[in-house]
Structure 1
Amino acid sequence: MATSLSRRTWFITGAGRGLGRAFTVAALEAGDEVVATVRKAEALSDLQEAHGERLQVLQLDVTERETVFEMVQRAIVAFGKLDVVVNNAGCGLVAAIEEAGEAEARAMMETNFFGALWVTQAVLPHLRARGAGHIVQISSVGGVGTMPTMGLYNASKWALEGFSEALAAEVASFGIRVTIAELGGFATDWAWGSMRFAEPLPAYDALRESVLGSAKVPWDMEAKGADTSAGTEVAAQALLAHVDRKDGPLRVLIGADAPEHLRVVLERRRDDYQKDARFRWPT
């Protein structure tokens, strides 16, 4: 168990369930302090009771920029510092590009891209002043590759990865570390409670059948079966191990299936580039 002097302070968004809750539990069990942001105030009442003052729970919608800055300041006041910032809040959208409405497309970017951007901007002055800190952006293999009917989700994660790679180069000299965590499949509520659906067009029924196994969307939220993917605690321990290291790669693959997904994606991209005779894959 860490002492009060050695404890790290984490700021974790989207901590009410799934991966965000698992990251919160792992940090607390390591003896650290956590500021966990949630949409529903009671979401972490059991953890609050178990860990007392080492856990501060703040209600936050990450799409509200002004509120994000206010909550970050409250977090700093509560513990005096932030060490690890995890931008985990996110959602999915099932929609062929033609099907996505303006409100749905904007909501996807507001949460997955702008939410992470606002939190990052809010914490940077504090981390720069300290000359230390670690920003972890929770992406996925979908932040590198794409899947039909998930293009808007892919776009939001590609945007997250784009600004985060530039950010890493911008802040390295200030002692700030950036990680893009590219996750594979885990047993979470992402495809259920966190999933949104556009109004389906019949023209894409066959595509949905081939990709998703059913033309019907939204799928029946009551019919959720057993998920054989690894539990969220596996992802949390992998992230904790990465954060514990003094340095490491910008991109870290988390999940047994992530490396193979990325290999297929990058080989496909390489083969496409090689259709241009001028292109040579680096050896």
Structure 2
Amino acid sequence: MSKTIFITGASRGFGKLWAEAFLKRGDKVVATARNLDTLADLVSTYGDAILPIQLDVNNREADFAAIKQAKQHFGTIDVLINNAGYGLFGAIEETSEQEAREQIETNVFGLLWLTQAAIPVMRAQGHGHIIQVSSFLGQVTFPVLGLYNASKFAVEGLSETLATEVKGFGINVSLIEPNGFTTDWSSASAIHTQSMPEYDALKAAFAEGSSAPGFFGDPEATSAAVLKLVDAENPPLRLFLGKIALPYVKQVYADRIATWEAWQDVAVAAHGN
């Protein structure tokens, strides 16, 4: 049975790839983008199966209106994929107030507003699946991506809580956590802070480490995984995409547990009784 998928940030990258994968197999897709010209090829190919909506996810009123329009147009919203977002590259000290606020505004609040708008629709239906595009950098961190890391940690905490709140309504929640892929996320779509020379060596080391062969995955290969996630009867709360994420996260968590255990006597004493 075909589904109705609402996906943000569908102008390029993962969003456009996944939108087309859904359309190819016969699903209906509500695709949002800031510039609707980027969706013209999908509209030309798939016609009435796609509803393009111009949307800046930072606009809460527009987010609610877009969900309402989608529901009125297709009659249902089976899956919401909050994919819109971008990366802010730069050391924390370098980051301006505006850059910090805009990063959180898009990656966290834009996702929150659309999630809030979709819940009543899905609750009334008795079913739904909210998929948040996070990152494995919502589990671990890289230097010179501090505000991006923070935004994805926020998405992780928000969505894990959400899953416990809406399960009784028949709504599933999943977090997609990709490692690096060869989209334009780190190039054309990225925002960079004004550099301070004190961080040049750190940035050079980070760039060298992330240029290893095979570090970045092929985005085309992710579509099959996303289709499986959407079709799963009991979808997982979290799904890594790529081969780098799990080994890296396992090592970081092993180090964390070792540190917690080493300091456990101090922690227990702090309990006070």
Say yes or no: TM over 0.5: yes
Where do 5+ consecutive residues of structure 2 fail to align? 269-273
Q: 1:223 maps to what in 2?
A: none
Q: 2:84 maps to what in 1?
A: 89
Find the residue that maps to 1:180 and give its secondary structure: strand
Q: 2:239 maps to what in 1?
A: 252
Q: 1:264 maps to what in 2?
A: 251
Identity of aligned residues (%): 44
Shift of 1:105: 0.2
Given residue 188 of structure 1, which amino acid in structure 2 is its aligned partner? T
TM-score (norm 2): 0.93
4+ residue segments displaced more than 6 Å: none
1:143-222 alignment, distance < 5 Å: 143-213=138-208
Cα pair distance change 1:17/1:227, threshold 3 Å:
farther
Cα distance between partner residues in 1 of 2:259 and 2:87: 27
Cα distance between partner residues in 2 of 1:28 and 1:199: 41
Aligned-pair Cα RMSD in Å: 1.7
1:223-262 alignment, distance < 5 Å: 229-262=216-249
Q: 2:52 maps to what in 1?
A: 57
Cα distance between partner residues in 1 of 2:10 and 2:110: 14
- Asked whether the equivalents of residues 180 and 215 of structure 2 are also in contact (C-alpha less than 8 Å), the reply is no
Shift of 1:213: 3.7
Question: Which protein is richer in helix relative to its size?
Answer: 2
Find the residue that maps to 1:98 and give its secondary structure: helix
Given residue 233 of structure 2, which amino acid in structure 1 is its aligned partner? K
**Which moved further from structure 2: 44-53 or 265-274?**
265-274
- Asked whether the equivalents of residues 172 and 235 of structure 2 are also in contact (C-alpha less than 8 Å), the reply is no
State which of 87, 104, 111 in structure 1 corresponds to 2:99.
Answer: 104
Shift of 1:227: 8.7
- Asked whether the equivalents of residues 179 and 241 of structure 2 are also in contact (C-alpha less than 8 Å), the reply is yes
State which of 59, 68, 75 in structure 2 corresponds to 1:80.
Answer: 75
Cα distance between partner residues in 2 of 1:51 and 1:26: 11
Q: 2:261 maps to what in 1?
A: 274
- State the Cα deviation string for residues 156-209 of structure 1 (Å, max 9, x = none): 000011110000000000000000111112220100111111111111111112
Q: 1:11 maps to what in 2?
A: 6
**Which moved further from structure 2: 199-208 or 165-174?**
199-208
> Across the two proteins, how many residue pairs are aligned to each other?
264
Given residue 181 of structure 2, which amino acid in structure 1 is its aligned partner? F
Shift of 1:228: 7.6
Cα distance between partner residues in 2 of 1:89 and 1:272: 35
TM-score (norm 1): 0.89
Find the residue that maps to 1:200 and give its secondary structure: coil
Cα distance between partner residues in 2 of 1:236 and 1:211: 28
